[in-house]
Amino acid sequence: MSLSLIRVHVLSTVLLLLATAGAAFCQITLRTETASVGRLDLVVYPFTPEGDAAFVGELPTQLSDLVKGDLSYSGFFNIINPSDLPPDTTIQVRKVGATFDTLRTFSGSSAARVRGTVSTGWEKSVASIAIFQPPLRDPIHVSEFSFQADKARDAAHEIAAWITRMLTGEEGAFQSRIAFVVKTGQNKDLWIMDWDGANARSLTRDQTLNLSPSWTPDGKSLYFTSFRNGDADIYRYTVESGKVTPFVKTPRTDSAPCVSADGEWVAYASSESGNFEIYRIHQDGSQKTQLTFSGRDDTSPSWSPTGREVVFTSDRGGSPQIYIMDFDGINVRRLTYDGVYNETARWSPRGDLIAFCSRESNQFPKFQVFTVQPGGGRERRLTDGGNKFDCSWSPDGMKIVYTSSENGKTSIWTCNWDGSNHRQLTFGLEASQPQWGPAVPLVSP
């Protein structure tokens, strides 16, 4: 059963109006210098049971803890503990029908407040969530979320996404998943997990190598490279059914697929002409077009959010560096000049930054994650320590996921776009090649 969102009361705010205007044609969103600047103060109170508390059990606490964890991890909010606030003048909140009634007056902090109640029936649970913005006494947004009790984690992700949308106009990455590769013996398989590392599970169980996953924008399929028929070809994996369909197959190596933001095109690298060049093909398998003709190795393509440009790695200048070209392969320009080996560039969904992995010098042979603006300029280092590679952006452009070999075994980590808040997501797995997927509901209708 899918989570059903029932809007029961919404007061329009300036932020909500800004959200509807957020789909700018250029698809570029400017950032502050660091992720901590501009965060909204937010208080999430423990959710309370409605009805028989013994019947509801620990579900309210579990749900509010998950929501608070999501919001804190998102990078949009500075979470304040209720105990750190001056007491409100009154604390009475009564649910009247499908709405909230309150006599509360706030004092001290201007931080927004989130309160909720949770009820449980035989078939479903319902969370009623209210957002308060001092000094207003009444909630500015209220919604109800219906879910099965065993889907509390999915419900928490949806509630966090709604809170973020109401207060910032942003969708967040709460309902996204990350695809990655796990090595077991001599084999490598595709896995997926939730945005916070939970619910990790395998998709393929083949006695072969499956590499380089790339999500479709609806989150229903993955393109990937596989050696299942001897050489490296590109396949499409349907997540719900597990069906694997051949997509690009040549006598040579076909690798590194990347799906455009509209899902219409797949860019990939192939050695069918001898060296690796970048190709573009329509998602229905037609209109295959070679984009580069450098005579050197061109690899790892990644689309801009508009679909009008492709960033890629090429050693045409003598060492692997990052280049950008137009949709049709013309207007090629070099982006990076620092570092002796730059690779796996990925364009932010916001359009304003490109993340890539760089080995700065031969004296320091470890790769680290950097960002740079599409027009060039100062490169910003986000990681340090052991090898960091295979970077990918979250769908909201607020986080980067990457592979780290710092602890001896490769694992998946994330950080904020400015290099803060590093967090390990996988444990006990030889995990690599993460690819962050779109933000879509985590359960099927």
Separation of alpha carbons 179 and 308, rounded Å: 25
Q: What is the mean pLDDT of residues 35-60?
A: 82
Same domain, 215 and 144: no
pLDDT at 332 over 50: yes
| Domain interval for residue 82 | 4-168
Same domain, 301 and 216: yes
Domain end position, chosen among 131, 149, 168:
168
Same domain, 21 and 103: yes
| φ/ψ of residue 282, rounded to 5 | -70, 155
E strands in 36-88: 40-44, 48-49, 77-80
- pLDDT score recorded for residue 192: 98
Number of structural domains found in the chain: 2
Among candidate residues 100, 97, 74, the one with its CA nearest the CA of residue 394: 74
User: What is the band of 106 on the pLDDT scale with cuts at 50, 70, 90?
Assistant: low
- pLDDT score recorded for residue 28: 39
Same domain, 164 and 181: no
Separation of alpha carbons 224 and 258, rounded Å: 9
Same domain, 157 and 83: yes
Most confident of 35-44, 88-97, 119-128, 177-186: 177-186
Same domain, 137 and 193: no
The answer as to whether 85 is a domain residue is yes
217 upstream amide cis, omega within 30 of 0? no
The answer as to whether 324 is a domain residue is yes
Q: Which residue has the higher pLDDT, 406 or 127?
A: 127
The answer as to whether 80 is a domain residue is yes
Q: Which residue has the higher pLDDT, 5 or 139?
A: 139
The answer as to whether 133 is a domain residue is yes
Same domain, 82 and 194: no
Kindly report the average pLDDT of the chain as a whole number: 88
The answer as to whether 445 is a domain residue is no
The answer as to whether 241 is a domain residue is yes
Same domain, 62 and 202: no
pLDDT at 326 over 90: yes
pTM of the model: 0.88
The answer as to whether 444 is a domain residue is no
pLDDT at 1 over 80: no
Q: Which residue has the higher pLDDT, 349 or 33?
A: 349
User: What is the band of 313 on the pLDDT scale with cuts at 50, 70, 90?
Assistant: very high
- pLDDT score recorded for residue 85: 82
Q: What is the mean pLDDT of residues 300-319?
A: 98
- pLDDT score recorded for residue 363: 67
CATH code for the domain in which residue 270 is found: 2.120.10.30
Q: What is the mean pLDDT of residues 103-128?
A: 82
Same domain, 161 and 302: no
Same domain, 252 and 271: yes
Domain end position, chosen among 123, 145, 168:
168
Separation of alpha carbons 390 and 367, rounded Å: 10
Same domain, 386 and 237: yes
The answer as to whether 198 is a domain residue is yes
Interacting residues of 3 by C-beta distance below 8 A, sequence separation 6+: 145, 146, 147, 151, 154, 155, 158, 441, 443
- Residue corresponding to tokens 């029936």: 121
Among candidate residues 173, 180, 174, 224, the one with its CA nearest the CA of residue 391: 180
Same domain, 151 and 231: no
pLDDT at 271 over 80: yes
Interacting residues of 227 by C-beta distance below 8 A, sequence separation 6+: 208, 209, 210
CATH code for the domain in which residue 137 is found: 3.40.50.10070
pLDDT at 443 over 50: no
DSSP characters for 333-352? EE---SSSEEEEEEE-TTSS
Q: What is the mean pLDDT of residues 415-424?
A: 96
Domain end position, chosen among 149, 168, 187:
168
